[in-house]
């Protein structure tokens, strides 16, 4: 299996160039469901240790159904197949450019939740105009197992987010405590049936810290579906967060704000209004290619499907 590894603001992406499973024909949404339902062992083998690493997201290249698109892609982590991945799309664009398959300028990429636009500014810098994002429900209160209540916004940015103020500083020394808190919040959201009209549950949690971060709007901790923290500021999370700020008129249209991750990497984020309750966010960040390799799957390997 031919793969290329990159990182976006510290968050790893593994692009699967060839050697992936044969998926069903049809829309990418249907192919993504096939991957989730029928190829779990493949996903585990690619991302779990010893081949993978914590936090890594894979980008499986597939043929686009829209001929205007440079490629189709399905993202997944060790826990779930994702609708969209912002840091992964930045990493994918840089990887394709490194392979000679993407030139400077604007290109379209097809994902299971819709077509996104990428602009390759240079070998490492990419802007992603994401799918329509929105604040779904503001000021949602959920009760944690310890009896405390947390109030936040339920929002969509390509994935489903619960966004709340951070009760402790968002900094690297607090990653364990922030992780435990975010897991508790997501569990409380599931228990309270906080979900989209179509029944999609909260899969990510963002804890926002606006204190003492220089020119950045905020420094944010993001919990991913696999219970790992996002080393980048999270592209879909930044989309959901700026949708909330737009709905509350805290950030103006086309105004650029900076969101920092828990380890200090940053995205520049802006939006355009669609004239309804949705916005079209744009995230600008950097990625760097780290490795180009062939993954080997030996039948005699006791950990061929990864370590659980």
Strand partners, 291: 5
> For residue range 88-147, what is the model confidence (pLDDT) as tens digits?
999 999 999 999 999 999 999 999 999 999 999 999 999 999 999 999 999 999 999 999
The torsion of the CA quartet 98, 103, 107, 111, rounded to 10 degrees, works out to -20
Residues 300-306 have a mean pLDDT of 95
Tell which residue, 193, 202, 216, has the closest CA to residue 268: 216
Residues 95 and 142 in one domain: no
pLDDT score recorded for residue 68: 95
Say whether pLDDT at 212 is over 80. no
Average pLDDT over the chain, rounded to whole?
96
| 119 and 178 together in one domain | no
Total-model pTM: 0.93
Residue 224 is among the residues annotated as catalytic for this protein: no
234 is catalytic: yes
Question: Residue ranges of the alpha helices (H) in 80-222?
Answer: 86-98, 175-191
CB-based contact 251:233 (threshold 8 Å)? no
| Total domain count, the chain | 2
The 3-state DSSP class for residue 273 equals: strand
Question: Domain span at residue 43?
Answer: 2-129+289-294
Catalytic residue of the set 69, 189, 224, 234? 234
CA distances from 61 to 13, 36, 92, 155, 252 (A): 12, 15, 9, 28, 36
Q: 79: pLDDT confidence band, cut at 50, 70 and 90?
A: confident
Tell me the average pLDDT across 271-275: 95
- Residue 18 CA to residue 86 CA, distance in Å, equals 22
90: in domain = yes
Question: Quick one: pLDDT at residue 308?
Answer: 84
What is the percentage of the chain residues whose pLDDT exceeds 70?
Answer: 100
Question: Residue 180: is its pLDDT beyond 80?
Answer: yes
Of 43, 69, 85, 224, which is the active-site residue? 85
Residue 124 forms part of a structural domain:
yes
Q: What is the mean pLDDT of residues 292-308?
A: 94
Do both 98 and 221 map to the same domain? no
Element (H, E) at 115: strand 114-120
> Is 233 contained in some domain?
yes
- Statement: residue 235 has pLDDT above 90: yes
């Amino acid at each position: 299996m031919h793969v290329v590894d990159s990182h976006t603001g510290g968050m790893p992406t593994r692009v699967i160039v060839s050697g992936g499973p044969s998926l069903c024909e049809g829309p990418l949404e249907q192919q993504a469901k096939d991957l989730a339902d029928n190829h779990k062992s493949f996903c585990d083998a690619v991302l779990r240790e010893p081949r993978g690493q914590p936090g890594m997201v894979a980008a499986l290249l597939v043929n686009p159904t829209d001929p205007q698109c440079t490629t189709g892609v399905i993202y997944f982590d060790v826990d779930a197949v994702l609708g969209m991945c912002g840091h992964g799309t930045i990493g994918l664009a840089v990887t394709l450019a490194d392979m000679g398959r993407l030139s400077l300028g604007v290109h379209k990429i097809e994902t299971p939740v819709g077509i996104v636009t990428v602009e390759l500014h240079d070998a490492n810098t990419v802007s992603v105009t994401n799918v329509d994002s929105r604040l779904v429900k503001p000021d949602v209160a959920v009760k944690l197992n310890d009896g405390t209540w947390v109030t936040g916004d339920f929002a969509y940015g390509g994935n489903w987010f619960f966004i709340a103020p951070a009760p402790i500083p968002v900094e690297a020394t607090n990653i364990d405590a922030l992780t435990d808190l975010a897991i508790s919040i997501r569990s409380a959201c599931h228990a309270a049936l906080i979900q989209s009209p179509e029944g999609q549950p909260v899969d990510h949690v963002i804890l926002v810290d606006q204190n003492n971060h220089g020119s950045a709007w905020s420094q944010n901790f993001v919990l991913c579906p696999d219970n790992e923290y996002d080393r980048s500021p999270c592209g879909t999370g930044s989309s959901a967060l700026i949708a909330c700020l737009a709905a509350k008129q805290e950030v103006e249209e086309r105004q650029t704000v900076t969101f920092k991750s828990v380890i200090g990497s940053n995205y520049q984020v802006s939006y355009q209004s669609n004239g309804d309750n949705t916005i079209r966010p744009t995230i600008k960040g950097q990625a760097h290619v780290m490795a180009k390799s062939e993954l080997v799957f030996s039948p005699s390997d006791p950990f061929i499907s990864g370590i659980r």
